[in-house]
Amino acid sequence: MVENYSEDSIRTLDWQEHIRLRPGMYIGKLGDGSAPDDGIYILVKEVVDNSIDEFAMGAGTEIIVTVEEGKVTVRDYGRGIPLGKLVDASSKMNTGAKYDSEAFKKAVGLNGVGIKAVNALSEVFEIQSFREGKTKYVRYSRARIVEERDIEPTEEPDGTRVTFVADKEVFGNYHYIAEYLETMMKNYVFLNTGLTIWFNGNKFFSKRGLYDLLMENMNGEGIYPIIHLKGDDIEIAMTHGRQYGEEYYSFVNGQHTTQGGTHLAAFREAVGKTIRDFYKKDFDTSDIRTSIIGAISIKVQEPVFESQTKTKLGSKDMAPGGPTVRNFIMDFVTKELDNYLYRNPDTAELLRKKIEETERERKAMAGVQKIARERAKQVSLHNRKLRDCRVHFNTNHELKNESSIFITEGDSASGSITKSRDVNTQAVFSLRGKPLNSYGLTKKVVYENEEFNLLQAALNIENGLEDLRYNNVIIATDADVDGMHIRLLLLTFFLQFFPDLVRGGHVYILQTPLFRVRNKRETRYCYSDAERENAIKALSPKPEITRFKGLGEISPEEFVHFIGKDMRLEPVRISKGDSIEEVLNYYMGKNTPERQDFIIENLYIEKDELR
């Protein structure tokens, strides 16, 4: 039956309605706060970005951010929004000062959208401007004015205060993770030396910019001292660590471009070319870049990003009529990095030895890699280990947020997930038994071990994350001792050889219910003993109680509830103070007595708490 299509089918939405109907166009994915790119963090960023732009214009050196029980407040000491335009600036699309390139030449936001999106997606949104001894205040709910005060005198210093509470109708039962917000605030000060940000009473300040950023994010010392170079509209920092893969932090006008873009591509190319030219050796670029830890920040006039969330730079030029981004970065790195290596021969020698060491290891593995790749191709033709999904990327060849792969153990568990999954965006990879403990082994084991080789091939991460085929890598194992052990072995594999997969926020643990409590009228799934007890009380007098011993015991009809839109995922995070080497050595190394003492001590604590 063909649906009726007439004039009545055409609707014009108010801007508030459009944002609330299609929030993904403005803030990316929604999420519940468990991932650093979830929408509630984008709301915070949009507000702070405006304060950062004021600092960049030379107005205000301090920003105060507080987040308490879901309420976010940002107070800056910039010039303050002109009072007569406060309502327009906060509630009229495409209204703002940033269309005047002279006023905001290299601002993060240019379209006047961000703050309005926050307004539309908040159940409470308050904005107050202080300017030249006067102030104006407006309060909204879902972008509708509920209170507007006249301009009145004030003794507060110039600037703007924004308070908002994200709307639970849109975001559900969300929560903020302080570590993600702290990382955001630290990045702001690393990129804006001289700026002080107070976050929930803690002071963040940086004197050395990207040098401090690398020091903050490195696990252990670099192989050579951090190379830190600054010029007009550009700053870079780099060293090599002992991890596999590459690790980059890229920024444009203070915006963390987590997906890189034209500037990061140019930086990687320039480093490879400069190093080959300096040593007059035709090094393979993969040998140069393996284990690199680098950061780049540039300032672009009227930047073009590939989405409203500004995570990937699309600009080809530094400014209208100016040099290309590629040529600008290439010229700077070619000159300054070459000069640095010439003036610091000790660093140059350590860098050369690192590249040659990587080259030797790569050549030693070449034969093993070739055989492993062929084996992976042959197996994948009729392989039941991977049940792939249909969609991995969007039209811009960017990973879809929903694209996921479940890593399971055993036929029954993988069978339940396979029958329950969304075949468009969810894939399943089935392990055969427990993986090998890869701690302390070289990357050669990735190719020699069939399980690791096939898993690496399924994820497509042999050469880094650029070709990663799934946004979410979800470990789905039983909630028993064996299942926990498999989790640890998989995490050891990822942290040992592909740490960027974890650092990039791609790895999760699937939470599935431990109990089912039901009577004839209602069924409740419980993820803890406390939830089970509450369900028993609610469904009295004598409900049926089932303990799920493994994922295979959950029927596909039930499993669909646990991997759908309400799926509970626990993100795997590396704390900034953690050394991957130390963590793996403690949990997966041979220090059995220390681990045993830790387990015994904490087991007694848990027993005492249960009493």
Residue 77: the pLDDT is 95
Position 13 scores a pLDDT of: 59
Structural class in CATH, domain 210-361: alpha beta
CATH entry 3.30.565.10 includes domain 16-204 = yes
Helix (H) or strand (E) holding 359: helix 345-381
Tell me how crowded residue 16 is: count the other CB atoms within 10 A of its CB: 19
> What's the CA angle centered on 371, arms 361 and 364, to 5 degrees?
15
Nearest-CA neighbor of 501 among 522, 457, 471?
471
**DSSP letters along 79-115, please?**
S---GGGHHHHHHSTT-SGGGSTTTSTT-S--SS-HH
Residue 11 has pLDDT above 70, yes or no: no
pLDDT at 111: 40
188 CA to centre of own chain: 16
Dihedral pair phi/psi, residue 41, rounded to 5°: -75, -30
> Is the pLDDT score of 109 beyond 80?
no
Q: Tokens 């993770």 appear where?
A: 177
The strand pairing partners of 140, in sequence order, are 125, 145
**282 or 254: which leads in pLDDT:** 282
Give the model's pLDDT for residue 380.
53
Peptide bond into 82 cis (omega under 30): no
pLDDT band at 12 (very low <50, low <70, confident <90, very high): low
Using a pLDDT cut of 90, give the percent of the chain over it: 40
- Residue matched to tokens 């609707």: 11
In this prediction, residues 159-186 reach a mean pLDDT of 92
* Confidence at residue 361, expressed as pLDDT on a 0 to 100 scale: 85
What is the Cα–Cα distance from 411 to 408, expressed in whole angstroms?
9
382 has a pLDDT exceeding 60: no
Whole-number pLDDT of residue 479:
78
Return the pLDDT at 398: 67
Contact (CB, 8 A) for 392 and 423: no
100: buried, middle or exposed (CB in 10 Å: 19+, 13-18, 0-12)? Answer: exposed
- The pLDDT of residue 260: 84
Q: How far apart are CA 544 and CA 547, in angstroms?
A: 10
Query: 417 near 559, Cβ under 8 Å?
Result: yes
Of 11, 30, 32, the closest CA to residue 22 belongs to 30
pLDDT at 558: 87
pLDDT-derived band at 528, boundaries 50, 70, 90: confident
Q: Is the pLDDT of residue 605 over 50?
A: no
Token pair recorded at residue 474: 């979800």
Q: Is the pLDDT of residue 608 over 50?
A: no
Q: Look up residue 604 and give its two tokens.
A: 């007694």
C-alpha 141/C-alpha 376 separation (Å) is: 55
CB 580 within 8 A of CB 495: yes
Q: What is the pLDDT of residue 607?
A: 39
Q: Are 279 and 234 in contact (CB under 8 A)?
A: no
- SS3 state of residue 528: coil
* Average pLDDT of every residue of the chain: 84
Spell out the alpha helix ranges (H) of 382-519.
411-420, 444-448, 450-459, 481-497, 499-503
Q: pLDDT over 70 for what percent of the chain?
A: 88
State the average pLDDT over residues 370-398.
70
Relative to beta strand 472-475, strand 134-141 is unpaired
CB atoms within 10 A of CB 276: 16
Q: What is the pLDDT of residue 213?
A: 93
In this prediction, residue 610 carries a pLDDT of 38
**Sequence-ordered list of residues with C-beta below 8 angstroms from that of 487, at least 6 positions apart, any chain:** 475, 477, 509
The count of other CB atoms within 10 Å of the CB of residue 533 is 13
**Which amino acid is residue 441, in one-letter code?**
L
- Tell me the fold of 383-512+555-578: Rossmann fold (3.40.50)
Phi/psi of residue 474, each to 5°? Answer: -110, 120
Reply yes or no on whether the pLDDT at 371 is more than 80. Answer: no
Are 557 and 548 within 8 A, CB to CB?
A: no
Q: What tens digit of pLDDT does each residue of 83-96 get?
A: 988 988 888 765 55
Tell me the C-alpha distance between 173 and 40, whole Å: 11
Which ranges in the chain are annotated with CATH 3.40.50.670? 383-512+555-578
Average pLDDT over residues 114-130: 91
Q: Is the pLDDT of residue 378 over 70?
A: no
Q: How far is the C-alpha of 84 from the C-alpha of 150, rounded, in Å?
A: 10
For residues 370-376, average pLDDT: 70
Question: Is residue 542 over pLDDT 60?
Answer: yes
Per-residue model confidence (pLDDT) at position 453? 87
pLDDT score of 600 more than 60: yes
94-98, 156-160, 501-505, 550-554: range with highest mean pLDDT: 156-160
What's residue 8's pLDDT? 59
DSSP state of 301: S
> How many CA atoms does the CB half-sphere of 219 hold within 13 Å?
20
Claim: this prediction has a pTM higher than 0.85: no
Average pLDDT over residues 211-215: 93
The pLDDT confidence band at residue 130, using thresholds 50, 70 and 90, is very high
What is the sign of the dihedral through the CA atoms of 334, 339, 345 and 347?
Answer: negative
**Token pair 């468009």: residue:** 424
pLDDT value at residue 609: 41
**More confident position, 399 or 123:** 123
**Element at 212 (helix H, strand E):** helix 210-217
